[in-house]
Amino acid sequence: MTMDEHLLGVLQLAQDAGVIGNTDLSEEITRARVFVAALGACPSNAAVLDIGSGGGLPGLVIAHDRPDVHVTLIDRREKRTDLLQRQVTRLRRHQPGLSIDVMCADVRNLQGERTFDVITARSFGSPEVVVESALPLLTSNGRLLVSEPPHSDGTRWREVLLSETSASVELFPQDAGTVAVITR
């Protein structure tokens, strides 16, 4: 079994549980790899937080493709974090030693406790909710990576929102999708 076949099997657990919709998982992995590409030269041992992890996209794909970073998956629903923990256990069967944590909590409860070098969000909420939830958790040079809808031009990240938070946004377009890269 190839590494990607194993990753497909891990994500199939979430699809079978109804957490990932009836979609082609290979395509979902390809879309999640836009986040991996947006990590770029992210240093080894960087702390990555995937908020609203749900079925593990993009967090598990990042952990799979970048075993040199520490990934924390967070979701506030216990059923989802129980499933994520099973997915992590299965992923580690072929990649022992992966540095992945699963947390059942509201991401806002982490504010003031920890910071992360990179935070990812896929289908988490409106730009305002994502920025309000994630920016306080970023290190000073950290990056927030947010999936963009098809044909996005970035205007959903209103100037007012970005100026209020001293943040800037750049779009990271790839054939498989676009990620907004938000920095302070």
So where are the chain's domains? 3-183
Q: Is 102 helix (H, G, I), strand (E, B) or coil?
A: strand
pLDDT at residue 160, rounded to an integer: 60
Does the pLDDT value for residue 35 go beyond 60? Answer: yes
Q: What is the DSSP string of 12-71?
A: HHHHHTTSS-SS-HHHHHHHHHHHHHHHTTPPTT-EEEEET-TTTTTHHHHHHH-TTSEE
Please state which CATH class domain 3-183 belongs to. alpha beta
Average pLDDT of span 156-166: 76
Contact between 139 and 117 (Cβ < 8 Å): yes
pLDDT level of residue 10 (50, 70, 90 thresholds):
very high
Q: What global pTM score does this model have?
A: 0.94
Average pLDDT of span 59-72: 97
Q: Helices 25-39 and 3-16: crossing angle, nearest 10°?
A: 110
Cross-strand bridge partners of residue 47:
70
Q: Which residue has the tokens 């990649």?
A: 95
